[in-house]
Amino acid sequence: MTKKRRSQHSYGKLDKDGFIHRSWMKNQGFPDDVFDGRPVIGICNTWSELTPCNSHLRDLAEHVKRGVWEAGGLPLEFPAMSLGETQMRPTAMLFRNLLAMEVEESIRGNPMDGVVLLGGCDKTTPGQLMGAASVDLPTIIISSGPMLNGKHCGADIGSGTDVWKFADAVKAGGMTMDEFMSAEAGMSRSPGTCMTMGTASTIACVVEALGLSLPLNATIPGVDARRGTMSHLTGRTIVEMVKSDRRLSTILTREHFENAVKVHTAIGGSTNAVIHLQAIAGRLGIELSLQDFDNWSRDVPMLADIQPSGKYLMEDFHYAGGLPALMNKIKDHLHPDLLTVTGEPKSAHYEGATCYNDDVVKSIDDPAKPMSGTWVLNGNLAPNGAIIKPNAASDHLLTHTGPAVVFETIEDYKARIDDPDLDVDENSVLVLKGCGPKGYPGMPEVGNMGLPQKILEKGVRDMVRISDARMSGTAFGTVILHVSPESDAGGPLALVKSGDMIEFNGPNRTLELKVSEDELAVRRKEWEKNKPVSPYTRGYAKLYIDHVQQAELGADLDFLVGGSGSEVTRESH
């Protein structure tokens, strides 16, 4: 006997409940026969004018609907909280788990058989996928796609990456305010996500590597007609997925995550992928440790020569052949036979793919950078780990010992960083506290804190920086991030004082605070007496602070790990 579709528990009943479920839907002009048992496809849309990277997703949703109708399904679009990375305070990351909760309950509570997730801007796709994973229906992703290359004074400029450079140049006196404003107008000139290998592009590549989208989803520009075509095909695909009962849990395995981490390494991807992939794996009960990222990235170099660690942009990556071309070049490092949304093995999406520009997508023998991926650091300053993106760091700082210059909060940093009397030079180690998941709250992207003006004026452009924060995927520098436990959770980071020596040894993966245990014990007693008290005492932020896990576990809320499944037995009336 064929199993009744999930949506038929609502639409298939010829009684009062069925009447209620169908009749109100008919006010949208649907004829009787669309409730005849065909697959009902939810289109989960994070469109918003306050999320400019997702501002064209309503158009793409229309293309998805065409494909769903054509394949014999019923498409029903619904909104989900949109998280505009450049707009939300105190940080969009605070709300990733809220979006995940909303998506989970929207899918669980409504009569749908499969889901298309439309997202792009950094936190939208991870939040949607976390929520969808906890329900585990057939699920496919269509991304916003990157913006066209930014332009300024006849040259390409990259989202975020060039903002940090221009801001430093203004501070150091090498760029006028008029030039700065002109660059602002030329950087973001079409719908889509940051066109560097920032977090949005990284996550789009990673979900394509996981087999959760059609091939080339990561790189087709947001305004390219072929993204509309892909959306249409995605609509067709999800209907077939429902008919085949191809759920997230039947697709995703630990080996998929290994592939994704290797792709993350080859693209020189954002450090934020670490925290998001762990949270997604946690929803599916798939083991994925911080150390896996270091272990799996050791034998893969950076092939995609894309900013912030390289020179090109996502539009160039697409014209070079996109992710299939890159995956074909690292195919010997990948598991080829893993299932994808199309029902084909992953290798069918990249095997034999042509690379049209070997300068943009380099080869394993002649990589863009020999070192890539994620280095996972351990030591008495980060007992539960910290990470650094080695390809974004300066080679001469990958082993460094220097005195700490400590900022207790981001406000403290902002107030003092350019003070001419600040006791700092290029050998100092900038340390920022209070920016972890609980402390900020939400773990903002401030880890790549700008250098002091007097150091910039000397022509220095990088220093070792350490914090419990994250950093934008568009950023670069010798920046040690995600220090765990965070300072507000009583991690040793909380005990660092200006002048303490800090020893960082990247190749050995160590991060040590050169202060005696006795002295640290004294400082800990002092910290316990004066530990920071959060001003967030109500609402979602309070819930978040009380339940968020530390960075090395993916910063999900502890009660959201795992899944609830798709079955909801009780009726609403």
> Rule CB under 6 A: which residues touch ligand FES?
53, 85-86, 121-122, 159, 193-194, 198, 200
Nearer to ligand FES, 85 or 102 (CB): 85
Minimum Å distance from CB 122 to ligand FES?
5
Other CB atoms within a 10 A radius of the CB of residue 188 amount to: 18
Q: Tokens standing for 57?
A: 């997703």
Other CB atoms within a 10 A radius of the CB of residue 135 amount to: 25
Minimum Å distance from CB 121 to ligand FES?
3
Nearer to ligand FES, 201 or 478 (CB): 201
Residue 383 carries which side chain, given as an amino acid letter? P
Do the Cβ atoms of 306 and 197 come closer than 8 Å? yes
Minimum Å distance from CB 86 to ligand FES?
5
The answer for residues whose C-beta is within 8 angstroms of residue 493's C-beta and 6 or more apart is 381, 382, 431, 433, 466, 467, 468, 483, 485, 486, 487
Minimum Å distance from CB 54 to ligand FES?
8
Beta-bridge mates of residue 557: 548
Q: Crossing angle for the helix pair 124-135 and 199-209, nearest 10 degrees?
A: 30
Nearer to ligand FES, 269 or 563 (CB): 269
Minimum Å distance from CB 85 to ligand FES?
4
Nearer to ligand FES, 122 or 500 (CB): 122
Minimum Å distance from CB 193 to ligand FES?
4
Q: 339 phi and psi, to 5 degrees?
A: -70, 150
Nearer to ligand FES, 86 or 110 (CB): 86
Nearer to ligand FES, 85 or 556 (CB): 85
The answer for residues whose C-beta is within 8 angstroms of residue 386's C-beta and 6 or more apart is 376, 377, 378, 466, 480, 481, 482, 483, 484, 511
Tokens 């002649």 correspond to what residue?
366
Minimum Å distance from CB 92 to ligand FES?
9
Half-sphere exposure of 221 (CA within 13 A, CB side): 19
Minimum Å distance from CB 312 to ligand FES?
17
Nearer to ligand FES, 7 or 196 (CB): 196
Minimum Å distance from CB 162 to ligand FES?
13
Distance CA 260, CA 511 (A): 27
Nearer to ligand FES, 194 or 368 (CB): 194
Half-sphere exposure of 40 (CA within 13 A, CB side): 25
Sort strands 479-481 and 501-505 into parallel, antiparallel or unpaired. unpaired
Do the Cβ atoms of 339 and 399 come closer than 8 Å? no
Q: What are the C-alpha distances in Å from 242 to residues 1, 7, 66, 107, 533?
A: 17, 11, 17, 14, 49
Nearer to ligand FES, 146 or 235 (CB): 146
Distance CA 393, CA 464 (A): 9
